[in-house]
Amino acid sequence: MYKKIVTEIRELPWAQYDPKKIIFLSLCSAIEFAESLRLALIAYPQNQNLGEMANGELKTNNLSYDDYATYGDHWEFLAHFCKKYDITDDSVGAKCFLAKEEYLQAVRSLDDNKARAMTIFSREQELPDIFHKIVEAHDWDALGLGFFKYYLERHIAIDSADGGHGDLTKSFQIDEEILFKFYTIRLNLYKSLHCIVTKSSDWDAVLQFTEQNPGKKIEGFLGSVPFPTMYGGQEYEIIAIDGEKYTARVDAAREFMSEGLEWKTLGKNRNGNIEQYYIVAWKLIEKS
């Protein structure tokens, strides 16, 4: 059931994800959204409701914030601020960048224009709840990224209003199988957010959690995501399942064991012996 995947996306540990990476992936999906919407207009050229909805998404001036007040697709609003705050392919790292490329490729390989259109209709119903969760996950204003909170809140308002985008597109038929495919692609995009902790404040929270909950896995740190190969050979501060802290070196050749539940790394324990660990959290040791 695609609704189950939607729920899974909504309940992702958004607060643990890097805010700038969340924005980066939003830009990626907003670019794809505009592309899919243009294909929807080709598939249903006579539909007035769809036309009205598209007027609120494409080449519109219904988003304005700070120094952005112009006509554009909604992704152009995000692109403007991503440029301003250096949220780029390079700054988010290889994992997010590759996830973006895979996402675009996977959505573009959906059957036809009607399938692409269907993802639009469904999104107008499902995204507001997901956006709510993302709004709550971070203090966007305090991070200096208030534009993103504005972007999400405007979308929630435009989609959920009486006669809004949700209402305008809800009469279109949807197909379980296509939407299951689409939301699975979308969930895979977000899996790239399960990543190395780079912020010291996050790291402190991890330490506190493992001290209080020995042996417990931390949502967002472990999953079916392998340790990025590009980090092979580098040194990490890690916390094993038993709560012990180690310095470890990732074995690039065999960093991934049995469906993501165990991560094979080489490291030295207190006695100086090389061991493999089941890791709950890790942080790259930056070499100056």
From 178, 50, 199, select the one nearest 116 (Cα to Cα).
Answer: 178
> Within positions 143 to 162, which residues make up the interface with Fe ion, using CB under 5 A?
159
Q: Considering CB under 5 A, how many residues would be counted as binding Fe ion?
A: 2
Closer residue to Fe ion, CB minimum distance, 148 or 263? 148
Residue closest to Fe ion, measured at CB: 165
| In the complex, least distance from residue 120 CB atom to Fe ion, rounded to whole angstroms | 8
From 247, 266, 255, select the one nearest 229 (Cα to Cα).
Answer: 255
Closer residue to Fe ion, CB minimum distance, 131 or 231? 131
Cα torsion 191, 192, 193, 195: sign? positive
| In the complex, least distance from residue 216 CB atom to Fe ion, rounded to whole angstroms | 39
| In the complex, least distance from residue 151 CB atom to Fe ion, rounded to whole angstroms | 12
Tokens read off for 63: 């988003």
Closer residue to Fe ion, CB minimum distance, 165 or 283? 165
H-only helix segments in the chain: 2-10, 19-43, 48-55, 74-84, 89-92, 94-108, 113-137, 146-160, 165-169, 176-191, 200-212
Closer residue to Fe ion, CB minimum distance, 73 or 159? 159
Piece of the chain touching Fe ion by CB under 5 A; list 129-137, 163-171, 173-181, 259-267: 163-171
Rounded Cα gap, residues 12 and 187, in angstroms: 9
| In the complex, least distance from residue 153 CB atom to Fe ion, rounded to whole angstroms | 13
Closer residue to Fe ion, CB minimum distance, 18 or 159? 159
Cα torsion 122, 125, 130, 131: sign? positive
H-only helix segments in 109-191: 113-137, 146-160, 165-169, 176-191
| In the complex, least distance from residue 68 CB atom to Fe ion, rounded to whole angstroms | 18
78 neighbors 65 (Cβ within 8 angstroms): no
Rounded Cα gap, residues 103 and 86, in angstroms: 22
Rounded Cα gap, residues 252 and 234, in angstroms: 9
Closer residue to Fe ion, CB minimum distance, 120 or 206? 120
Closer residue to Fe ion, CB minimum distance, 53 or 239? 53
| In the complex, least distance from residue 158 CB atom to Fe ion, rounded to whole angstroms | 5
| In the complex, least distance from residue 102 CB atom to Fe ion, rounded to whole angstroms | 24
- 165 sits near Fe ion (criterion: CB under 5 A): yes
Tokens read off for 145: 């990224």
> Within positions 117 to 136, which residues make up the interface with Fe ion, using CB under 5 A?
none
Q: Which residues of this chain interact with Fe ion, rule CB under 5 A?
A: 159, 165
